[in-house]
Amino acid sequence: MTSDQGYVYILANGYKRLYTGVTTRLARRVRVHKERMHPDSFTARYGIDQLVYYECHESISRAIGRETEIKALLRVKKIQLIVGLNPEWKDLSLVWGKEIEPFDESKMKPPQTFGS
């Protein structure tokens, strides 16, 4: 990751209230939301701290432009973006920093054929 990359992200709470933001340091910014470092902020007041969608852009200026586009979308269009990437609305930040299981070819299933 280079320092000029930008991220646009959408957070949600259990009631699917949404917040769209932009940053150059996504993990740090999500942690700020989760720890409610700014207790009077919109996200802290409504418990919006689940990362449900994000995009990475080559520059922060492009990310800001995309954030503007997303903020202008109807709620239903924002939900379509989220469901397209994350249909179960899982908190995408929960796996950060966890060990990745090594690949085990013996666990793979043989391909299925159609119409034989």
The domain limits of the chain are: 6-95
Q: What is the largest CA-CA distance in the chain?
A: 62
* CATH code for the part of the protein at 6-95: 3.40.1440.10
In contact, 18 and 76? CB cutoff 8 Å: no
pLDDT for residue 104 is more than 80: no
pTM attached to this predicted model: 0.80
pLDDT > 90 in the chain, percent: 67
Gap between the Cα atoms of 114 and 54, Å rounded: 35
Mean pLDDT for 47-62 is: 95
